[in-house]
Structure 1
Amino acid sequence: MNSTASSLFYTPPDSYWGQFDEISKYNVHLNVFERLWAAWYAFMQNDVLATGILSFVMHELVYFGRSIPWMIIDRISYFNKYKIQNQKIPTLREQWKCAQLVLLSHFTVELPQIWLFHPMAQYFGMETGVPFPKFLTIAYQIAVFFVLEDTWHYWSHRALHWGPLYKRIHKIHHQYSAPFGLAAEYASPIEVMVLGFGTIAPPILVCAVTGNLHILTMYIWIVCRLFQAIDAHSGYEFPWSLHHFLPFWAGAEHHDVHHERFIGNYSSSFRWWDYLLDTESGPEAAKKRRERRLAKDAKKVQ
């Protein structure tokens, strides 16, 4: 009986769970997530392959996992009152067509880059082992990434609205004047690489300068960035949307106007670049701009 039970729960030492058991025996100071992480790399026996598979699977799960709830919300009439352009609900046909291009881009443009990520990370000294960094270290590094990415996104996105670049590259992304979550990465391969550089470069830069960055921080950052991009394209404005609590946060209300009017609101996460450089878009921004102009003209008359 005991031997039968043992055989049922036996894990071969060269299996993933066998590696997990072995690591757990001699690394009791590690938490369960760190053991799971270490077991994955020990099981794969190839760091490039281990990072590549983990990165790509994580990206796909997060991207579509976050997009599907918005697709469901689009089909529920109750939420229509929160839709910014509520006369433009994407059809299933539109969403399927969008998903096809996004998947094509993921497998032909993003997958090769993801596969090259581990060698690049190692070249710049990014840590991949255990233990994981402290929570505060992860938090402040991701805050820095958000600021740097937003700056890159503002200027590169604004450049993509220059006539020739818009026509040849960025126009694809603006096919949907009323965006939806799945369309966050609906773009030409060139745009995916240009704007994607803003996501990858800040961590690499921080790692090269400080010599202190763990790939786990990179993963959490990418998850946060995907959530931000998908939510900004969701097309929904709720009373609990983040910008009501953080006025400098952009969000769907900010980006939806950009898709509707095809100009202004170039930032990704924050509003300050558009505010400082007077590229805010929408009725409120136009009203403020007009009031400033009238006040300036009044001073000249005096």
Structure 2
Amino acid sequence: MVSHVFHDYSSFENATTVAGVFQNFNKLPNLSLAEKIWGSIYYYIGNDLFATGCIFFFVHEVVYFGRSLPWFIIDRIPFFNKYKIQDTKLPSSQEQWECFKSVFIHHFVLEAFPIWFFHPLCQYIGISYEIPFPTYKTMALQLAVFFVLEDTWHYWFHRALHYGVFYKYIHKQHHRYAAPFGLAAEYAHPVEVFLLGLGTVGIPIVWCYFTRDLHLFTICVWITLRLFQAIDSHSGYEFPWSLHNFLPFWAGADHHDLHHHYFVGGYASSFRWWDYLLDTEAGPEAKAHREARMKLKAEAAQKKSI
């Protein structure tokens, strides 16, 4: 079975090894290293459905646990304690291990199976996986749109999960750790994983359904960036070089740590504007500002009634 990742294999020599396949792609002009590797994976596996599943599962596992590892190490180096937001609540090895086991099992039991249906869905709605990739400009625009739309999705569904039975039976699991750490980013009830994960995966699908313009590689980059954001926001650390110090609208760990500490407010994922506009920022400082505004509003109303 010949992969449809490339349109012309007439110049290829017979190859039975990964290195041999890569050499064939390496001879093609005007392809980047990433495109050559991408094409080699699909061609070598020889089954596009299986190749897509392998790539997506591999990317998710390597990025998630690979990005969590530095935070696990930092938690055990006393030098970094001064940057810990809740500096008296360092996660124990037992907590980290239990969290790791839960997330790892969820990845294989709940998330691995749907991945194998992703390739047929891509074919049906027109998500491309062929090389060459789209331009950097195209990918950057799409990634920006995905970040904004996912943040909106996350804010409203996350906020809804804090109400009544939704919190008690679903979202409470994620709040087991009042002082979050990197591995806990996807420590959640299966229903929550589905609902909030739908924002990450579903938004690109809907985008392609209407635009017919999206590549699987762009989705891989998007998932990588989204995982980095989720894990970093759960890290529990605030550094002078943290991104929100340069982009004030970026949420970051300080924003989400307050959410875990106080259990309410700070519902957005990547940005601060929804919580700012709807007055749902978390923490004592935000609470004091709200109370001051309510007091001024009440005083103004009382003066008007006199």
Shared fold (TM-score, shorter chain, > 0.5): yes
TM-score range, shorter chain: over 0.9
Structure 1 runs of 4+ with >4 Å offset? none
Aligned to 1:164: 165
Aligned to 1:200: 201
Aligned to 1:223: 224
TM-score (normalizing by structure 2): 0.92
Counterpart check, 1:274 vs 2:275: yes
Aligned to 1:236: 237
Counterpart check, 1:209 vs 2:210: yes
Aligned to 1:13: 15
User: 1-side partners of 2:180 and 2:32: how far apart?
Assistant: 41
User: 2-side partners of 1:21 and 1:240: how far apart?
Assistant: 41
Consecutive unaligned residues in structure 2, runs of 5 or more: 1-12
Aligned to 2:96: 95
1:72-115 per-position Cα deviation (integer Å, ceiling 9, x unaligned):
11001111111111110001111000000000100011111222
Question: What letter corresponds to residue 102 of structure 1 in structure 2?
Answer: V
SS at match of 1:127: coil
User: 1-side partners of 2:26 and 2:78: how far apart?
Assistant: 50
Aligned to 1:252: 253
SS at match of 2:86: coil
User: 1-side partners of 2:35 and 2:103: how far apart?
Assistant: 32
Q: What's the CA shift for 1:57? A: 1.0
Aligned to 2:37: 36
SS at match of 2:34: helix
Query: RMSD of the TM alignment (CA)?
Result: 1.3
Counterpart check, 1:83 vs 2:47: no
Q: What's the CA shift for 1:145? A: 0.3
Counterpart check, 1:119 vs 2:120: yes
Aligned to 1:54: 55
Q: What's the CA shift for 1:301? A: 3.4
User: 2-side partners of 1:276 and 1:223: how far apart?
Assistant: 28
User: 2-side partners of 1:34 and 1:249: how far apart?
Assistant: 31
1:217-256 per-position Cα deviation (integer Å, ceiling 9, x unaligned):
1000000000000000000111111111111111110111
Aligned to 1:6: none
User: 1-side partners of 2:54 and 2:226: how far apart?
Assistant: 19
User: 2-side partners of 1:123 and 1:12: how far apart?
Assistant: 32
Aligned to 1:22: 24
User: 2-side partners of 1:245 and 1:287: how far apart?
Assistant: 25
User: 2-side partners of 1:248 and 1:107: how far apart?
Assistant: 35
- Structure 1 range deviating more: 212-221 or 273-282: 273-282
Aligned to 1:3: none
User: 1-side partners of 2:192 and 2:159: how far apart?
Assistant: 12
Q: What's the CA shift for 1:205? A: 1.2
Aligned to 1:151: 152
User: 1-side partners of 2:245 and 2:298: how far apart?
Assistant: 33
- Structure 1 range deviating more: 277-286 or 94-103: 277-286
Q: What's the CA shift for 1:264? A: 0.9
Q: What's the CA shift for 1:172? A: 0.7
Q: What's the CA shift for 1:32? A: 2.5
Question: What letter corresponds to residue 168 of structure 2 in structure 1?
Answer: K
Question: What letter corresponds to residue 256 of structure 2 in structure 1?
Answer: H
User: 1-side partners of 2:108 and 2:39: how far apart?
Assistant: 27
Question: What letter corresponds to residue 175 of structure 1 in structure 2?
Answer: R
Aligned to 1:299: 300
User: 2-side partners of 1:31 and 1:301: how far apart?
Assistant: 68
SS at match of 1:48: helix
User: 1-side partners of 2:21 and 2:246: how far apart?
Assistant: 45
Aligned to 2:181: 180
